[in-house]
């Protein structure tokens, strides 16, 4: 990392020192391009460091286009095919970073997320990439052959249509000379992410850049985010905070079999985060609390073998005692199994397999892992990530309308889109 920009002319300037930006920088640098990465944060790769509980779920063994959400579901295919999960795994192994599969193909560092960031920074350093932090981009201007700003260019070779001029300011030292605040580049890459986790410095700057250049942006909302529930619901279930169990959660035609976690705000856990990306305000979700068991058959058998057992006692064999008692007290009559008729057991089983609830909302960008929506991919090349209307302008990573499932998919999109762009700038 550098504290001040030592040159004002670069082949490539990348706004954003996150996963996608650093991948793009290293690839472009390896191709002999002069590369500058600018970030307003005080550290590069902050989201990498916090991801995966500090161990970074850096990719997944099972990457497929169906694991990604976008207004154009085909857009991600080219980049994902060009740089696969196996390519990133090879990079991890090249640097001898130990890793393991947690479940469902999810790959995590054995040690710390910093291992992944160190790989990217090491590769960038070897490729001659310059990274400057605590720096804000104030203005971006596209220069043309008849633009008066071209008089600032030092020689005729720099007078190329499609160049960009950036004015920056150092957030810690605004007094840095004007020379160091003006940068020219042939290719400008927007890799400043979405709106998720604003405490990490997330802003809508990338969307603003896109709109300033006439690109369409799609409505954004929080994805992979916990649900919140109305006060009445919380009164009933707040004592279950911290309770987790494996279920099937569905919304519309989409379902996920994973754990849910009751919280003091509502509900979280992998299954909830996954389904939240398919949920819209006002939608119901359905939860199958006993996904691998036929509740009706099980209760009928227990009615025969332990007829005097209370319903809550029977259910505590499948749930925690606290959860069994809670759902029994809220939904059913807690009496001996022998006192239930077949119709009543059918109703109990149906409720356990089809619990319909309507979330009040989500926790929003504060805790969301991704931002859904963003720069419309119809205006961007799927092969190079270049704007179709402004040659030399590129968008990669989360700023685009491409979001992955939980489990390493969003990092793989960052690697793949960054690689595709890095090969083209």
Count of all residues that appear for the chain in the document: 425
**What is the b/e burial string over 337-352, where b = at least 16 CB atoms within 10 angstroms of the residue's CB?**
beebeeeebeebbeeb
The rounded distance, in Å, linking the Cα atoms of 357 and 95 is 47
Q: Which helix (H) or strand (E) holds 25?
A: helix 19-30
CATH topology for 9-220+372-422?
A: FAD/NAD(P)-binding domain (3.50.50)
The tokens 């025969």 sit on which residue?
304
E strands present in 231-312: 244-251, 254-262, 266-268, 285-288
The CATH number, out of the four listed (2.40.30.10, 1.10.599.10, 2.40.10.10, 3.40.605.10), of the domain defined by the range 227-362: 2.40.30.10
The rounded distance, in Å, linking the Cα atoms of 165 and 150 is 9
The rounded distance, in Å, linking the Cα atoms of 364 and 223 is 8
All CATH 2.40.30.10 domain ranges of the chain, comma separated, are 227-362
Angle at 256 between CA 255 and CA 258, to 5 degrees: 155
What's the pLDDT score for residue 33?
97
Beta bridge partners of 255: 250
Q: pTM of whole model > 0.95? A: no
What's the pLDDT score for residue 173?
65
What's the pLDDT score for residue 145?
60
The rounded distance, in Å, linking the Cα atoms of 101 and 117 is 19
What's the pLDDT score for residue 146?
55
All CATH 3.50.50.60 domain ranges of the chain, comma separated, are 9-220+372-422
Q: Is the dihedral of CA 115, 117, 118, 123 positive or negative?
A: positive
pLDDT means over runs of 10, the chain (425 residues) = 72 98 98 97 96 96 98 97 98 98 97 98 98 96 67 46 84 57 95 94 96 98 97 93 97 97 97 98 97 96 96 96 96 97 97 97 97 98 98 98 98 98 98
Angle at 385 between CA 384 and CA 388, to 5 degrees: 95
The rounded distance, in Å, linking the Cα atoms of 382 and 141 is 24
Of 73, 78, 16, the closest CA to residue 47 belongs to 16
């Amino acid at each position: 990392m550098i504290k001040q920009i030592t040159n004002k002319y670069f082949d490539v300037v990348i706004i954003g020192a996150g996963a996608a930006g650093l991948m793009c920088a290293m690839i472009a640098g390896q191709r002999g391009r002069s590369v500058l990465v600018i970030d307003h944060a005080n550290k590069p790769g902050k989201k990498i460091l916090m991801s995966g509980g500090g161990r970074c779920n850096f990719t997944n063994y099972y990457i497929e286009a169906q694991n990604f959400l976008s207004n154009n579901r085909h857009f991600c295919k080219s980049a994902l095919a060009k740089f696969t999960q196996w390519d990133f795994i090879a990079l991890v192994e090249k640097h001898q970073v130990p890793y393991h599969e947690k479940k469902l193909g999810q790959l995590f560092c054995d040690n710390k997320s910093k291992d992944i960031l160190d790989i990217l920074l090491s590769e960038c350093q070897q490729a001659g990439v310059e990274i400057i932090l605590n720096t804000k981009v104030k203005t971006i201007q596209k220069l043309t052959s008849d633009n008066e700003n071209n008089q600032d260019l030092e020689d005729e070779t720099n007078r190329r249509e499609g160049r960009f001029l950036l004015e920056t300011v150092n957030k810690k030292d605004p007094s840095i000379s004007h020379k160091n605040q003006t940068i020219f580049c042939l290719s400008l890459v927007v890799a400043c992410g979405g709106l998720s986790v604003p405490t990490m410095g997330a802003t809508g700057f990338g969307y603003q850049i896109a709109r300033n250049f006439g690109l369409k942006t799609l409505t954004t909302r929080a994805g992979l985010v916990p649900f919140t529930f109305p006060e009445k619901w919380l009164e009933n279930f707040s004592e279950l905070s911290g309770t987790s169990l494996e279920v099937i959660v569905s919304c519309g035609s989409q379902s996920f079999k994973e754990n849910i976690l009751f919280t003091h705000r509502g509900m979280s856990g992998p299954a909830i985060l996954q389904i939240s990306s398919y949920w819209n305000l006002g939608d119901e979700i359905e939860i199958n609390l006993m996904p691998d068991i036929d509740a009706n058959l099980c209760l009928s058998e227990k009615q025969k073998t332990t007829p005097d057992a209370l319903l809550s006692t029977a259910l505590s064999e499948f749930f925690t005692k606290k959860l069994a008692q809670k759902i029994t007290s809220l939904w059913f009559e807690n009496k001996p199994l022998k006192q239930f008729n077949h119709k009543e057991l059918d109703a109990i089983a149906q409720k356990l397999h089809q619990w319909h609830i309507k979330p009040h909302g989500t926790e929003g960008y504060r805790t969301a892992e991704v931002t859904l929506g963003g720069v419309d991919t119809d205006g961007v090349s799927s092969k190079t990530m270049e704007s179709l209307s402004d040659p030399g302008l590129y968008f990669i990573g989360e700023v685009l309308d491409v979001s992955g499932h939980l489990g390493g998919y969003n990092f793989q999109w960052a690697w793949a889109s960054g690689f595709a762009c890095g090969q083209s700038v």
